Amino acid sequence: MLLFPNAKINIGLEITKKRNDGYHDIDTIFYPVDWHDILEIVPSESNATKLTVTGNRVDCPPEKNLVTKAWHVLNSHVPIPTVNIYLHKIIPDGAGLGGGSSDAAFTLRGLNEMFQLGLDQATLAAYAAEIGADCPFFIYNKPMRATGIGNIFTPLPITLKQYTVLIVKPDVSVSTKQAYQGVTPSAPITSLPEAVISLPPIQWQNTIVNKFEESVFPQFPEIKKLKQEIYNAGACYCAMSGSGASVYGIFHKDNADRMSALLTQLPKNYISHVSVLQW
């Protein structure tokens, strides 16, 4: 069983309220992008499930990886055989791109298919929610509005198929906890889903914001600088994804040459990816 878990970007990210349980309510749009890890699941003859990770460095041991947790969560509901799982990391970690959550969700999807469990998306999404708040998104894997703590998903009728996305991860790490500490929750001035649906990306710049940028940019001026460089290269819209550290730009095909020129100028320790949006 070979699968290709994809990344996501956040289009807008409002932090609307700090809850009594210490978490924050948010309002954001998750949009899938074609930047993939590689996940292989094969039967095991041992009595324990084993995960082997290659590629980009991941800051946790295999037994604490969300992929391993996904097997245990599914097994707690529907007993399944042990497997060997091989994960090759390409999506950068700590980038606000949901790579780890996607790996976990695709593990659930793969195990469901491999063992012919017949679980529907709603059931898989409920199991995915036990792994992480944003994991259910990757079960559905289509543009969604996320509210609550990022765990309540509503399909959104939006398509950006005519655009190309550039994603750049600078060589810095942003603590999500610290990013939240630097933001004052507030009600959004403009309805995020209404703006995304009614306006073309070229008009998003002054309307759709990622509130984490207020907190992160003063700490990491190189991320702020990167965002401006992407705009200077002709992006219709540019923003940080999640709490960072990656920044993405949405480009019309007419600006492909300027985008390519920017790629040649990026520092060598920056990770970048370009793909045509498919949803």
User: Tell me: the pLDDT tens digits for 116-133?
Assistant: 999 999 999 999 999 999
Give me the pLDDT at residue 178, please: 87
Instruction: Give just the sign of the alpha carbon dihedral 277, 11, 95, 219.
Output: positive
Give me the pLDDT at residue 59, please: 85
Give me the pLDDT at residue 276, please: 94
Give me the pLDDT at residue 162, please: 87
Give me the pLDDT at residue 70, please: 98
Give the mean model confidence (pLDDT) for residues 51-67. 94
Q: Are 224 and 214 in contact (CB under 8 A)?
A: no
Tell me the average pLDDT of the chain.
96
Give me the pLDDT at residue 186, please: 94
Residue where a domain stops, chosen among 102, 128, 155: 155
pLDDT band at 253 (very low <50, low <70, confident <90, very high): confident
Q: Are residues 196 and 121 in the same domain?
A: no
Indicate the number of domains in the chain: 2
Give me the pLDDT at residue 38, please: 98
Q: Are residues 93 and 202 in the same domain?
A: no
Q: Are residues 143 and 179 in the same domain?
A: no
Q: pLDDT, tens digit, for every residue of 132-169?
A: 999 999 999 999 999 999 999 999 999 999 899 999 99
Catalytic residue numbers read 8, 134
Q: Are residues 191 and 100 in the same domain?
A: no
Q: Are residues 151 and 190 in the same domain?
A: no
Q: Are residues 13 and 142 in the same domain?
A: yes
CATH number, domain of 109, equals 3.30.230.10
Give me the pLDDT at residue 261, please: 96
DSSP string, 51-69: EEEEES--SS-GGGSHHHH
Using CB atoms within 10 A of its CB, is residue 40 exposed (0-12), middle (13-18) or buried (19+)? middle
Q: pLDDT, tens digit, for every residue of 87-101?
A: 999 999 989 999 999
The stretches of 98-161 forming alpha helices (DSSP H) are 99-114, 121-129, 135-140
Residue where a domain stops, chosen among 155, 181, 214: 155
Return the percentage of the chain with pLDDT > 70, whole number: 100
Q: Are residues 167 and 140 in the same domain?
A: no
pTM: 0.96
Domain span including residue 182: 163-276
Q: Are residues 264 and 187 in the same domain?
A: yes
Report the C-alpha gap between 155 and 149 in whole angstroms.
17
Give the mean model confidence (pLDDT) for residues 20-33. 96
Relative to beta strand 50-55, strand 83-89 is parallel
Give the mean model confidence (pLDDT) for residues 53-61. 92
Q: Are residues 249 and 268 in the same domain?
A: yes
